[in-house]
Structure 1
Amino acid sequence: MYPSEYIQFLAHFHGDRDYFECHELLEDYWKKTDPRNKDSIWVGLILLSVSAYHHRRNNFSGALRTLLKASKIFEFQPDSLAKLGINNIEFFQLLNEQVSTLQKGESYRSFSLPICDKALAELAKKACEQKGFMWGKESDLTDKLLIDRHKLRDRTSIIEERKQSLKTRKGSE
């Protein structure tokens, strides 16, 4: 019923808190299923992950800007959230709390998404355990591989993809 990428996203979001991996998982899925739709619910979840990643790194302005973009997407798609097993009311309360936290410059704290579908929660918890993570564990703020993951990755394929995209756009002008 739910895409496996989404279940893996939830496992990382609530387990090892690897928001970079959350972004990667859903970006790949979004590109396969709803490419170029910047208002896709998947883009909203990607931006939510990016916001949490920035907040954990004390980039408050980047985290707030990204979260506000995500919030706009979510506002127009409450039905999509419900279809993804998320409690809309609790989710929007959570978003408002996160915005307030960022505006006040408060330190990052791990948070959980309000999953209302018990079967989904069980699937995500099982995926989390299979990866060796503990569901609901706080972020390890001393883990540099987690905190600075964007600095440590191999960007070769991303750079090549952007070059190809630019060539394609220039060729169609």
Structure 2
Amino acid sequence: MDFPLSYIKYLYHFHVDRDYFECHEVLEEYWKDHGMERNSIWVGLIQLAVSYYHYRNNNRKGAIKLMNRVLLLLQNSYLEMDRLGIHYPELIKILKDSHQKMRKNQPYKAINFPIKDKKLYILCQSYCNEKSINWGNPDTNTPVQILFKHKWRRTPNSKKHENKTSV
């Protein structure tokens, strides 16, 4: 399978700079451009990134709410996740473990997708190599510009900060 560049960028942001806000932006644009449904697997991936954005920023309520949606959206997505090069059972286990940690108010810890498709992994590595960055950042020293990116986002016609929720 050929993987969309937007998906590679999503995985890059999720695993390298841990810019979950940018994950949302990149994949939401792809999702909208392709006229997909609100129950699409892409929406699940977008909401997953937003859940981790909230989790890292100690918004447990928002993180849990979105993770509930993610688990619901992805519950029967074995074939789609397989086509996206992800080991579905392992991903669901990781997400359920994270969900429990969120509910128990345990501290945020970055996760990695269990990528099983060698071509996908090579594409991700190549994308990282172009930027001279290593895959799988443990997310121990994230810059404030990424942690609170929503506060600096500006609309094209406004100088005010925008808090936008789309998906």
Q: Does 2:34 correspond to 1:33?
A: yes
Partner of 2:56: 56
Greater percentage in helix: 1
Q: CA deviation at 1:110?
A: 1.0
Q: Counterpart amino acid of 1:123? A: L
TM-score by length of 1: 0.86
Deviations along 1:35-70, one digit per CA (max 9) or x if unpaired, are 4x1101110000000001000101111001001101
Query: What is the TM-score with the length of structure 2 in the denominator?
Result: 0.89
Per-residue CA deviation, residues 107-152 of structure 1 (Å, 9 max, x unaligned), is 1111100110011011012112323432111224451101000001
Q: Residues 45 and 34 of structure 1: is their aligned pair in 2 closer, same or farther, counting only changes over 3 Å?
A: same
Partner of 1:2: 3
Q: Alignment RMSD, CA only? A: 1.5
> Which whole-Å CA distance do the structure 2 matches of 1:141 and 1:83 have between them?
33
Share of identical aligned residues, percent?
38
Q: Radius of gyration: which is bigger?
A: 1
Give the CA deviation at 1:83: 0.7
Q: Which consecutive residues of structure 1, in runs of 5 or more, have no partner in the other structure?
A: 159-173
Stretch deviating more after TM superposition (128-137 or 92-101) = 128-137
Cα distance change of structure 1 residues 108 and 114 upon mapping to structure 2, 3 Å threshold = same
Structure 2 CA distance for aligned equivalents of residues 33 and 3 of structure 1: 11
Distance change in 2, residues 1:157/1:114 (3 Å): farther
The residue number in structure 2 matching 1:76 is: 76
4+ long deviations beyond 6 Å = none
Consecutive unaligned residues in structure 2, runs of 5 or more: 159-167
Task: Say which is worse superposed, 122-131 or 149-158, in terms of deviation.
Answer: 149-158
Indicate how the Cα distance of structure 1 residues 51 and 157 shifts in structure 2: closer, same or farther if over 3 A, else same: farther
Are 1:27 and 1:43, in contact at CA under 8 Å, matched by a contact in 2? Answer: yes
Looking at structure 1, the residues matched to 93 and 26 of structure 2 have their Cα atoms a distance apart, in angstroms, of: 25
